[in-house]
Amino acid sequence: DGGITQSPKYLFRKEGQNVTLSCEQNLNHDAMYWYRQDPGQGLRLIYYSQIVNDFQKGDIAEGYSVSREKKESFPLTVTSAQKNPTAFYLCASSGQRTTGNTIYFGEGSWLTVV
């Protein structure tokens, strides 16, 4: 089935550790995105990539890093520099690398710092 796959669904991290969230899509989409959602809040853009080997910071990029070595994959690393990483993380993609295209979302990953 075509879609966006995020893993793991649930992840626990100790303070001071880096963790990487996986996002894979088989929709042949050019653009990919990472959003963060906190309880009672809307989604906020962390990073996005419109093409392989290129990515741009979103509104809340501090403490996060990404890579886009393959079209299908856009992993997000939550570093120890992120002060409050506990949140729900959503990966998304869209078919064309121009603004205004419909963005489709994965099922999300819950990250909890313990």
Partner 1 sequence: AQKVTQAQTEISVVEKEDVTLDCVYETRDTTYYLFWYKQPPSGELVFLIRRNSFDEQNEISGRYSWNFQKSTSSFNFTITASQVVDSAVYFCARTPGGGADGLTFGKGTHLIIQP
Binding site for partner 1 (CB under 8 A): 31, 33, 40-45, 48, 50, 56, 58-59, 88, 90, 92, 97-100, 102-108
CA distance readout (Å), 111 to 29, 30, 69: 26, 26, 24
Q: Looking at beta carbons only, is 16 or 100 nearer to partner 1?
A: 100
Beta strands of 1-114 (E only): which ranges?
A: 4-7, 10-13, 19-25, 31-37, 43-51, 54-57, 64-66, 76-78, 87-94, 104-105, 109-113
CB of 45 to partner 1, least distance (A): 4
Provide, rounded to whole angstroms, the least separation between the CB of residue 112 and partner 1: 14
* Minimum CB distance to partner 1, residue 54 (Å): 12
